[in-house]
Amino acid sequence: MSELLAVIDANPGDAPQGLATVVAGLTLLERVLRLAAVCGAQRAVLVSQEPLPSLGDLFRADPPLDIQTVTDIGDVPRNTSRIWLKASVVYERSAVRDAASAAADLPRGESRRQSSGHLAITGPAPSAPASLDEAFQAGPATLSPGWTIQIDSPDAVRRATRRLWNGCRKKEDGLVARYLNRHLSLAISRAIVQLPIGPNHVSALTFALGGAAALAAAFGGYAGFLVAGLLYQINSVIDGVDGELARVRYEFSVLGEWLDTISDDLSDFLLYLGLGFGAFRTLPDAPGPFGPELWLALGVAAALGKAASMVVYYRWLRARGRGDLLAFQWEFKDPDDEPSHLSRALSLAHYAFRKDFIVFVAMVMAIGGALPYLLFALAPGNLIVAVSVLVQQARQGGPQA
């Protein structure tokens, strides 16, 4: 596999403010370069017949790739695989990612181009296109085009911005996330996308909110449990913002994945302990013949079940160089197996009763003054999940990749 070079048509076309046109928080030039970088390009060549503006005015931070600027397409290096993009176009990331993978695998001398006129790949061939127009002409084979929007008017900017944000909606979203949380988190993300706030800053904020919810729960009483339930729901909404900023601004990193996952898990862990302690302090008795010590036992059991699951799937993620819990493959969701009635039921339950649903129920129970009683479901539920994760990993032979 050869080095992958991103060749960017840096002519601004009819973009309203040229290459400085901002779409979802990034200028056109920074967007296309960041996209090329996250899709595997190691270097970039900007091809423009017009003088380019100062690059420092077009980037939020340092450029994501080493950049060479040329005016003649004949000066583009030919001894490497190339992906050809236009700075005046906003692309669907998956299409560029697939094209970059195909370009990197092209054998020497082979060339393919996409018929859309906005995306092309070429292998390490000795010849070069005679012009940028020729570079983007249809070749003997096509790539998956995805969606592309040529930025040539304010309306095109709005359409591209809308498509990018809509791409943050995930099929894995649970019911509450799909119909409530995602609407709120996207509104927040849109409002701050041009501010110097990164996904990791948001992950730190979600952990702070989770810690504050746990502390409020530990104080107990109706007021403490109410504040805990409300903060827990706010935490759940804000938790979507870091991923949305990362996807729209192409600010992905394994560190960011781990910060997001760990902040979520520690927030849950601390809340369970705080809830058990707060109920022990402020509720005179537990249901039935048990004393208030039962609340402590339930909180500790829920926290231990969570911790056991964390240990197992953290090892699984670490072995694969990932930090995103969504990458964890549950056995009942294995696409290679014919789904049974049980696996279908488990998959449906996993979708319907995701964390977003549990957090929303916690808020409703807090408003009704019954939040501690959620521990009666969380304690056995977390232990069951921990056992199922342990059994699954034992069947699969451990966390090795």
Question: What is the pairing mode between strands 4-9 and 43-47?
Answer: parallel
How much is the pLDDT for 298? Answer: 96
Q: What is the mean pLDDT of residues 114-137?
A: 76
3-state SS class at 283: coil
Higher pLDDT, 96 or 54: 96
Phi and psi, residue 241, nearest 5°:
-70, -40
Q: Which residues of 105-125 are buried (b: 16+ CB within 10 A; e: fewer)?
A: ebeeebbbbbebbbbbbbbbb
- Measure the CA–CA gap between 127 and 78, rounded to whole angstroms: 7
pLDDT exceeds 50 at position 10: yes
**Which alpha helices (H) appear in 52-153, and where do they start and end?**
93-104, 132-135
Higher pLDDT, 192 or 344: 192
Q: Which domains are assigned to the chain?
A: 4-164 (3.90.550.10), 168-395 (1.20.120.1760)
How much is the pLDDT for 351? Answer: 47
42's tokens: 């190691």
Q: What is the mean pLDDT of residues 371-390?
A: 88
pLDDT band at 349 (very low <50, low <70, confident <90, very high): very low
Higher pLDDT, 39 or 348: 39
Tens digits of residue pLDDT in 154-175: 999 999 999 999 999 988 788 8
The structure's pTM equals: 0.88
191's tokens: 């409002």
pLDDT exceeds 90 at position 2: no
pLDDT band at 116 (very low <50, low <70, confident <90, very high): low
How much is the pLDDT for 233? Answer: 97
Average pLDDT, the chain: 86
